[in-house]
Structure 1
Amino acid sequence: MLFHYFHGTWGTVEEGEHGLSLRSLCFLFPKQPHNILQRRLMETNLSKLRSSRVPWASKTNKFNQAKTEGLKKSEDDDMILVSCQCAGKDVKALVDTGCQYNLISSACVDRLGLKEYVRSHKHEGERLSLPRHLKVVGQIEHLVITLGSLRLDCPAAVVEDNEKNLSLGLQTLRSLKCIINLDKHRLIMGKTDKEEIPFVETISLNEDNTSEA
C-alpha cells in the first residue's frame, strides 16, 4: 500500500501483485470516466504481468535445453563401443544387443571405400526389423572385421545414415560367445580361449569416426 498526496488530499493507493487496483486509479484520476479508468487499469496490469513473466519463460527455455542435453548425454553414455579394423582402417563399432543384424551406415561405406561390395536389395527394409526406423539400402555379404586377434567374415546390412558408424548385432555377438562385462568395461569373446576387448570412450559416434577419416 502506497500513500499519495493528490489535489490537496492524502490517500492510499493499493498495488497488488498484478498491478494497481481500480479504486487506486479512481483516486489518482477523479475526473476520468469509469470506462477509461478500466482501460488504463487493464493496460497497466497486463504490461506489468508480461514483464514479470519474461524471466520465467527464459528459465523454462533454459531448463528444457538442459533437459534435452542431459538426455542426449545419457544416451551417449549408454552406448558400448569397441575398437576394430575394417578395410584397413580403425573404426569404433557399436555393440548393439537391440538388433539382430550387423549394420554399417552408407557414410561409413563411403569412408571405407566399400561401395563396390554393396549388393542392392529391394524391399529389404520390410523384411528386417531394425531399430530407430532405419532404412536398408543394400547389403555387404562378406564384411571383414578384425576385432582383437579375431578376423571376422560376416554379412552386414547397409543403412541410410549420415553418421559414420558400424554396429555388431546379436547374431555375431552370439556366434562369438560374447559376454558384456559392465563392471570391467570389457567385451569378452570366446568360451575356452577368452579374449577381452576394452570399451572405448563414448564421445560421439559421429564425431569420433569423423576424426579418423
Structure 2
Amino acid sequence: MFYSGILTEPGRKEVEIREAASLRQQRRMKQAVQFIHKDSADLLPLDGLKKLGTSKDTQPHNILQKRLMETNLSKFRGSRAPKDLSSQTNKLNQTKLGSSGKTEDEELIVVSCQCAGKELKAVVDTGSQHNLMSSACLDRLGLKEHLKALPVEEEMVSLPNKVKAIGQIEGLSLTVGAVPVECAALVVEDNDQPFSFGLQTLKSLKCVINMEKHHLVLGQMDREEIPFVGVDSAEAGE
C-alpha cells in the first residue's frame, strides 16, 4: 500500500544523511576552489614572503626555487673566495718581496778599496760579524792559492742570507782610502756581494757611518772620510 507525500521514519533519516553528505562535499569543493585561487605564499613558513598576486614568478614554488639558486650561488662564491684571496695575497707578498729586495739593494753602503793591486768594491755589512769574500772575487784577485780550510770551531758559524763558508783567507791586505787594513775573511759560494766588511773589522777601525753626509769615518790613529759609492759601481767591480 502506497502513501503519497508521506515518508516513513527510516526514509526520512536516509534523506537527511544524503543531504548532509552532499553539503559536506560542496563545502570541501568550495574550500579547494578557494585554496587554488588564493595566493598561498602567506600560508607557508617563509620569512619575508608576502602576497604577491597570481603571477607565476610570485608563486611559492618559484620563490623557493629562486631562493635556493641564490643560496647555492652564495655558497659557490664563498668556497672560491678563500682561494682567490690566497692567490691575491701571494701576488701581493711577491710584489712586496720584490720591491723590498730592490730597496735593500739601493740602501747598501758600498766603499771603494784596493786589494792585491786591484780595485774592489766592499759592502759595509753590520749584520755580519765576519768579513765575507765570494769565491768568484777570490779568483779575480788571484788569491785562490791562499785559501785555507775552516777551523772546526768555524765550520758551524752562522752567516747571513744562508750562505755557506767553504774556507777562509788570512792576512788579507786592503787599503781603504789611505787607511791600510789587515784582516781575515771567510770565503763563501754563490754570494751576490764580492766582498763585505763585518762588524769585527769595522769595530777595530773605529768606523763611524755618517748617513747624512754619505761617508765613513775610520782609522785608529789618523781618521779619514771614505765616501760611499753606488750599488751599480759595486756590481761592476766584481
The TM tier, using the shorter chain, reads 0.5 to 0.7
| Counterpart position of 2:192 | 163
Superposition TM-score, scaled by structure 1 size: 0.66
**Is this contact kept in 2: 1:107–1:164, CA < 8 A?**
no
**Is this contact kept in 1: 2:179–2:219, CA < 8 A?**
no
**Is this contact kept in 2: 1:102–1:155, CA < 8 A?**
yes
**Is this contact kept in 1: 2:56–2:62, CA < 8 A?**
no
3-state SS in 1 of match to 2:228: strand
Q: Deviations over 1:85-125 (max 9, x none)?
A: 22333322111233333221223212333211111225353
- Point out where structure 2 has 5 or more consecutive residues left out of the alignment: 1-53
Task: Go from structure 1 to structure 2 and tell me whether the alpha carbon gap of 1:106 and 1:41 turns closer, same or farther (over 3 Å shift).
Answer: same
Aligned-partner Cα distance in 1 for 2:58–2:110: 74
3-state SS in 2 of match to 1:171: helix
Superposition TM-score, scaled by structure 2 size: 0.60
Bigger radius of gyration among the two: 2
| Counterpart position of 1:87 | 116
| Counterpart position of 1:19 | none
Task: Go from structure 1 to structure 2 and tell me whether the alpha carbon gap of 1:64 and 1:144 turns closer, same or farther (over 3 Å shift).
Answer: same
| Counterpart position of 1:11 | 58
**In the alignment, is residue 102 of structure 1 matched against residue 149 of structure 2?**
no
Task: Go from structure 1 to structure 2 and tell me whether the alpha carbon gap of 1:23 and 1:53 turns closer, same or farther (over 3 Å shift).
Answer: farther
**In the alignment, is residue 125 of structure 1 matched against residue 154 of structure 2?**
yes
User: What letter is aligned with 1:9?
Assistant: K
| Counterpart position of 1:4 | none
Aligned-partner Cα distance in 2 for 1:128–1:92: 24
Higher helix share: 2
**Is this contact kept in 2: 1:100–1:169, CA < 8 A?**
yes
Task: Go from structure 1 to structure 2 and tell me whether the alpha carbon gap of 1:45 and 1:102 turns closer, same or farther (over 3 Å shift).
Answer: closer
Q: CA RMSD in A?
A: 3.7
1:1-213 alignment to 2 at 5 Å? Answer: 9-11=56-58, 24=63, 26=65, 44-47=73-76, 56=85, 59-126=88-155, 128=157, 130-190=159-219, 193-202=222-231, 208-209=234-235, 211-213=236-238
**Is this contact kept in 1: 2:110–2:228, CA < 8 A?**
yes
Shift of 1:65: 2.0
3-state SS in 2 of match to 1:60: helix
Identity of aligned residues (%): 45
3-state SS in 2 of match to 1:200: coil
3-state SS in 2 of match to 1:156: strand
**Is this contact kept in 2: 1:124–1:136, CA < 8 A?**
no
- Point out where structure 1 has 5 or more consecutive residues left out of the alignment: 1-6, 14-21, 29-36
Shift of 1:183: 1.6
